[in-house]
Structure 1
Amino acid sequence: MLDPQFPIKKLENGKWRLHLSASVSPTGKKTSRTFETKTEANNFRVNRKWEINKRGTGQIPLDTNQMVDAKRAIDLLKGRTESLYEMVKEALEAKELLEGAGLRGNHDLSLPRAAEELMETYRRTEASKTFREAFNDYYEFKKFGSKSTQHQNDIRRIMNGPKWNRGKESSEGQLKRQGFLNHYGDTPLELITEKQIRAFVREHFRSSIRNRNSCVVLLKSIFDYAVGEGWIRISPMRKIQKEQTFIEAVDILKIADFNRCAELLDTPKYRSIAVPIAIQMFAGLRWSEIAGNKDKPMMGWDKVVTNPRGAKSIKPYINVTREHAKGIQGKRGTSARLVEIEDNLIDWINLVPKSKRVGQILPDSHQQLIRDFRKEANIEGRRNILRHSYGTYHFHRFENKAKTMLNMGHTNDGTFEEHYYAYDPEGDAPELYWDLRPSKNRKSKIIDLEVAS
């Protein structure tokens, strides 16, 4: 009967493998040895039992040749801060792993060779960059400091954790623990595994497909950059892909909704923000192009040209310059454009006398007014509904896709068609939308809200 601590098994290549449990292995870990014949395996088992009975399992007995090898291994390992005993023990483990691998070819399994392999691993680890160093290099290479605020916020959220958690209180430490740098910032690149990355993404970026994809794209870019620089041979992100996203039908104003918006803008409370809101509804500008943000200034009245002059007669227009348009100021690819002003929008603009059309288009205290308006109009939380309504109703009223795309600053036919082309608006909505005017200029009576709804 086989000894349960020393089982011997014949391999397919004709050799014999002796398995050593952790309790009897010289290294204190479960290992195995491979021998050419069963007799050699049995002899080793007998000798090992004798060694255990005489010295115990904690000793590592060396014969004369092994002593010479061990001395050479120690010389190779000089200068290391770790215990030399531990280093030699690791070298022995490496040697035993090689011997137990069942390799067909002849390989140098001496202690010095094992020590050299161990040293090479240490050298690679010490020479490799940490993830934090790679990220900093990549950040400078891509000039992320010049990217949009939204782009930089996404990077900070993925790398350093979010500023806050919606719906629950979290300490600063808890938030930082959600950042990739907190987990693996000081880890050498080659030691970060695909399994670790998948676990991180699953734990901290599972709230939406967009969140997950943002994290995956950034990490993939950094590791691909590291491969290109020669810091690692293979990216752990090579099998991790973005999830497919599906664009749902856009949320737009129904007849009752846009009549309610027009009624509110026609009241004294909202008169100071009536023109900017009307510009978004009837010219399709992004709110950031009107109100500005950290990267963009607020639009001024000088960009609203109601009486154009020049050699060529053109319609009134709104000048969305590069400094206001979506994109990076001074670079190609921004959505700078001239947006023609439709007749009903002229009536809304004329609510403000020409003598008052100076400076910024929004009052300084507009934030609370905007919040109140959106709440009363029942469009709170429906972020892009005014711009999407413009795109839908402009295309379905004038049936000129190129013109609608130009006015909105769109360049992607596919995205435009998914959002607006196949949409089937209710009743006469496209015609009614472009007849929305202030009460004093109204050509037709606004549909009764109860009937419309």
Structure 2
Amino acid sequence: RDTLQDTSSHYRSRVRQVLGAFASVFGDCLIDDVTPDEFEKWLTGWKTTPPSYNSALRHIKPFFAWAISKKYAVQSPAEGIKQRKHQRAPISILTPAQAHSLLDACRDYSGDGTMPENLRVNAADMKIAVAVLLFAGVRPEEVTALTWEHVKLAHGYIRIEPEVSKTNSVRLVRIEANLKAWLETVPPEKRSGKLAPKNWQRKWQAVRRGAGISHLNDVCRHSYASYWLAAHRDTHGLLENMGHTTSKTTIKYYLTACNPEEVPAYWQIFPEDRGAS
């Protein structure tokens, strides 16, 4: 806990999950009694896909290094175990029409018999948060912690604080013209408190289901990055907005993810009262 106190809550949560799973199997053993073969067999059985396997390995290795530094162990059971290679699948992004549909799906499902009972919620108050996901690339877990104090409309940016950010670092995300219009649909006197409404998880599930994108993960963030990079051709600016330090592979995928002819339409998704498509 002392070692991880300066890391993000998301990272700490992942470490707890991995260490908990490890302890449930090897909790009665000394670390030195766990052989690399036993460790690898356990990890392979628990995390069956290369991405999940690699993630778990990344999150548990620092624990073994810490144990060795404290002389609780002589060697790491993960020593010599390498990450698995895998072909990264193309990222999924929304078309401008699908982005429209996602915003339109921020509506009242209270009496919608086509929805599962637990998703029959009034999600009409989701539009601002969803617009921030689509047009600022903020992660869903970050948007739930953002307040209007983080939105610097007069200066044109949203401030993501370390305690909010997945990467535990400050980043300033530029407010695009269409996002500014969405934010300004909220009267100044009501710009207080959190951007995301209460009961976020159920409402977000309902909105995604209503828009037909329940099967797509991180699609708003990927869409933002792809359309932003296509519009600005500024890789450094995108990395700053996304909170990445370097990611050549990611940039490569974002560069080819969207059709150039659809880029203007994405950034012209304004609230209807602005008269835009």
Matching of residues 68-217 of structure 1 within 5 Å: 143-144=3-4, 147-161=7-21, 180-203=22-45, 205-217=46-58
> Aligned pairs, how many?
265
Map of 2:118 onto structure 1: none
1:351, 1:200 → 2: CA distance?
Answer: 52
Inter-CA distance 279–232: structure 2 relative to 1 (3 Å threshold):
closer
Q: Is the 8 A contact 1:320 1:338 kept in 2?
A: yes
Query: 1:147: how far off?
Result: 4.0
1:373, 1:243 → 2: CA distance?
Answer: 35
Gaps of 5+ in 2: 110-121
Map of 2:100 onto structure 1: 259
Percentage identity across paired residues of the two chains: 23
Aligned: 1:244 with 2:77: no
Aligned residue among 303, 310, 317 for 2:150: 303
Inter-CA distance 249–181: structure 2 relative to 1 (3 Å threshold):
same
TM-score by length of 1: 0.52
**What CA deviation, in whole Å up to 9, does each residue of 1:104-140 have, x standing for no partner?**
xxxxxxxxxxxxxxxxxxxxxxxxxxxxxxxxxxx65
**What CA deviation, in whole Å up to 9, does each residue of 1:23-79 have, x standing for no partner?**
xxxxxxxxxxxxxxxxxxxxxxxxxxxxxxxxxxxxxxxxxxxxxxxxxxxxxxxxx
Inter-CA distance 263–427: structure 2 relative to 1 (3 Å threshold):
farther
2:20, 2:172 → 1: CA distance?
Answer: 40
Inter-CA distance 147–406: structure 2 relative to 1 (3 Å threshold):
closer
Map of 1:274 onto structure 2: 127
Query: 1:145: how far off?
Result: 5.4
Query: 1:266: how far off?
Result: 8.5
Secondary structure at the residue paired with 2:172? strand
Inter-CA distance 441–366: structure 2 relative to 1 (3 Å threshold):
same
Map of 1:421 onto structure 2: 255
Q: Is the 8 A contact 1:436 1:442 kept in 2?
A: no
Aligned: 1:322 with 2:192: no
Aligned: 1:388 with 2:248: no
Q: Is the 8 A contact 2:9 2:163 kept in 1?
A: no
Which moved further from structure 2: 240-249 or 280-289?
Answer: 240-249
Query: 1:291: how far off?
Result: 0.5
User: Which letter does structure 2 place at the counterpart of 1:434?
Assistant: W
Query: 1:240: how far off?
Result: 2.1
User: Which letter does structure 2 place at the counterpart of 1:302?
Assistant: E
**What CA deviation, in whole Å up to 9, does each residue of 1:409-437 have, x standing for no partner?**
222141431331233x2362101001111
Aligned: 1:288 with 2:122: no
User: Which letter does structure 1 place at the counterpart of 2:127?
Assistant: A
Inter-CA distance 342–230: structure 2 relative to 1 (3 Å threshold):
closer
User: Which letter does structure 1 place at the counterpart of 2:208?
Assistant: R
Query: 1:401: how far off?
Result: 1.9
Aligned residue among 240, 247, 265 for 1:406: 240
User: Which letter does structure 2 place at the counterpart of 1:301?
Assistant: W
Who wins on radius of gyration, i.e. which is larger? 1
Matching of residues 319-398 of structure 1 within 5 Å: 319-328=159-168, 334=169, 336-398=170-232
Gaps of 5+ in 1: 1-138, 162-179, 293-298, 309-315, 329-333, 447-453
